[in-house]
Amino acid sequence: QSALTQPPSASGSPGQSVTISCTGTSSDVGGYNYVSWYQQHPGKAPKLMIYEVTKRPSGVPDRFSASKSGNTASLTVSGLQAEDEADYYCSSYAGSSNFGIFGGGTKLTVL
């Protein structure tokens, strides 16, 4: 199964909003409401930011929101802060015989 497609980079100025897309197929993103988003700072472990398409774990700022339309999921970071600069990965369930697939990652730069 191919990786989900994410743009390699995204950027925005402090206070602005930025949206990162994650495109899959009807066999993964489009077929299930199980899209997750992870934030990874350099040298650190990934951190769950969004699960089940739109849900935020406790402790994740509400500046982070997400949605899905068809085979594409999106993560929006509003009110960008310097600490949001990191790599972001999407992930989707892809059926019971699959562990789930990741996107290639998007490097978010806060200008």
Partner 1 sequence: EVQLVQSGAEVKEPGESLKISCKASGYSFTGYWIGWVRQMSGKGLEWMGIIYPADSDTRYSPSFQGQVTISADKSINTAYLQWSSLKASDTAMYYCARRIAGGGADYWGQGTLISVSS
- Chain contacts with partner 1 (rule: CB under 8 A): 3, 32-34, 36, 38, 45-48, 51-52, 57, 89, 91-94, 98-105
Strands (E), the chain: 9-12, 18-23, 35-40, 47-50, 64-69, 72-77, 86-92, 101-102, 106-110
Nearer to partner 1, 77 or 94 (CB): 94
Nearer to partner 1, 83 or 99 (CB): 99
Rounded CA-CA distance 46/43 in Å is 10
* Least spacing, CB of residue 6 vs partner 1, in Å: 9
* Least spacing, CB of residue 8 vs partner 1, in Å: 11
Distances (CA, A) of 8 to 15, 49, 61, 70, 105: 22, 19, 24, 21, 6
* Least spacing, CB of residue 39 vs partner 1, in Å: 11
Nearer to partner 1, 65 or 91 (CB): 91
Residue 51 β-bridge partners: 55
Nearer to partner 1, 84 or 87 (CB): 87
